[in-house]
Structure 1
Amino acid sequence: MRTSRVEAFSDGVLAIIITIMVLELRVPEGHEWTDLFVLWPKVLSYLISFVYVGIYWNNHHHLFQLVEWVNGAVLLANLHLLFWLSLFPFVTAWAGESHFAAIPMTCYGAVALMAAISYTILQVVIVRAHESNSRVARAAGSDRKGRISIAAYLVAIIAPFFGEVGVWVSGVCLAGVAVMWFLPDRRVERTLAEPGPS
């Protein structure tokens, strides 16, 4: 099967996810700077989640530039990823509303962890659907940043149970992963730049 429908569907779902997240940002009741400032937890939560969803869109787009065809397993793995990404609006709103309380931060970390695991599964399933020397298999290579991300998400899930400092540690881990992935995965770009047949 061609990849165009998978990409179009995924792009649509990600656009809806971002739209739902921004709709959670309510207009302040007053007209002063102080009325806007009280929204900082919601705005910060939205900003981090927007970056996360944008990173997933970016890496998904890069990955599918190397994909030659998809099968049923790839379709299911892609839906699995979209499911976890679709929970970002919920945990974003909860974290912002609660001013980053412990349980919402743990849940945010859990959704981020499951999204990372599901992206890894998607990548593995795509590689298995292609020949061992295909461009997508070469680009997959070693995923050190992916392993670091999963470790950081585990810390982000557990840390809030250790009080206020743990909540800050959780936030730093989540923001740190976003910063680490802000630039696209260069493995795909290097593979696309390789000369010769795939």
Structure 2
Amino acid sequence: METERFEALIDAILAIIITIIVLEIPLASTGSWESLLELKYEFIIYAISFIVVFNFWNFNNNLFSIVNRIDWKVIWSMGLSLFIMSLLPYLTTFVAENFNLFLPQFFYGLSYIATAILSKLISKFLKESDPGNIALQVVLEKDYIFMMTIVLVSIGMIIGYLAYPPAIITSCLISIVAIWIVPKVLN
């Protein structure tokens, strides 16, 4: 199966997710700085959610630019990953309204870990569906970034449970930065 229509579907779903997230940001009650400052948690979690969705889009956009063929395993695992991403608007609001509580932060981190696990699975399925694509095989050879994400967010969850719940979303953000820095350092 060719990938162009599938890529367009991924782009459309992610655009809708970002739109819903931004529409969930409440308006300031007045035009004052104090009123805007009251919304600081909403803006923080929105920014992190935007970065998460953008990073997911960027990774898949770069990856699918070299993919020639996909099969049903790729489609369904990506569909499941997009389903989990579609929960981000709800989780963003849940965290924003309960910023210093563990459970909302935990579910946010759990969705991030689930997406990383599914991305690892998608990589495996892509390699199987397009075995003659040497560029794809080389790019997906080092998929340690998914394990790094899982480990970093898991550490954030432990810190979040024991001491400071916002450590979980902070670890999600740190894992994104690490995804872009670590491969450059290792090469």
Cα distance, 1:133 vs structure 2: 5.9
Q: Which amino acid aligns with 1:35?
A: S
Aligned to 1:135: 135
Aligned to 1:102: 102
Aligned to 1:175: 173
CA distance in 2, matches of 1:71, 1:172: 35
Judge conservation of contact 2:3–2:69 (CA < 8 Å) in 1. Answer: yes
Q: 1:168 to 1:19 in 2, by over 3 A?
A: closer
Q: Which sits farther off after the overlay, 54-63 or 80-89? A: 80-89
Judge conservation of contact 1:48–1:178 (CA < 8 Å) in 2. Answer: no
Q: Which amino acid aligns with 2:71?
A: N
Structure 2 unaligned regions, length at least 5: none
Cα distance, 1:170 vs structure 2: 2.3
CA distance in 2, matches of 1:69, 1:148: 27
CA distance in 2, matches of 1:28, 1:133: 51
Aligned to 2:23: 23
Cα distance, 1:182 vs structure 2: 5.2
Q: What's the Cα RMSD here?
A: 1.9
Aligned to 1:196: none
Cα distance, 1:168 vs structure 2: 4.1
Judge conservation of contact 1:42–1:93 (CA < 8 Å) in 2. Answer: yes
CA distance in 1, matches of 2:99, 2:40: 9
Q: How does 1:60-139 map to 2 (within 5 A)?
A: 60-131=60-131, 134-139=134-139
Judge conservation of contact 1:77–1:121 (CA < 8 Å) in 2. Answer: yes
Q: Which sits farther off after the overlay, 105-114 or 73-82? A: 73-82
Q: How many residues align?
A: 184
Q: Which amino acid aligns with 2:167?
A: V
Judge conservation of contact 1:55–1:181 (CA < 8 Å) in 2. Answer: no
- CA deviations 1:165-197 (Å, max 9, x no partner) are 3324324312211222357x77xxx9xxxxxxx
Structure 1 unaligned regions, length at least 5: 191-198
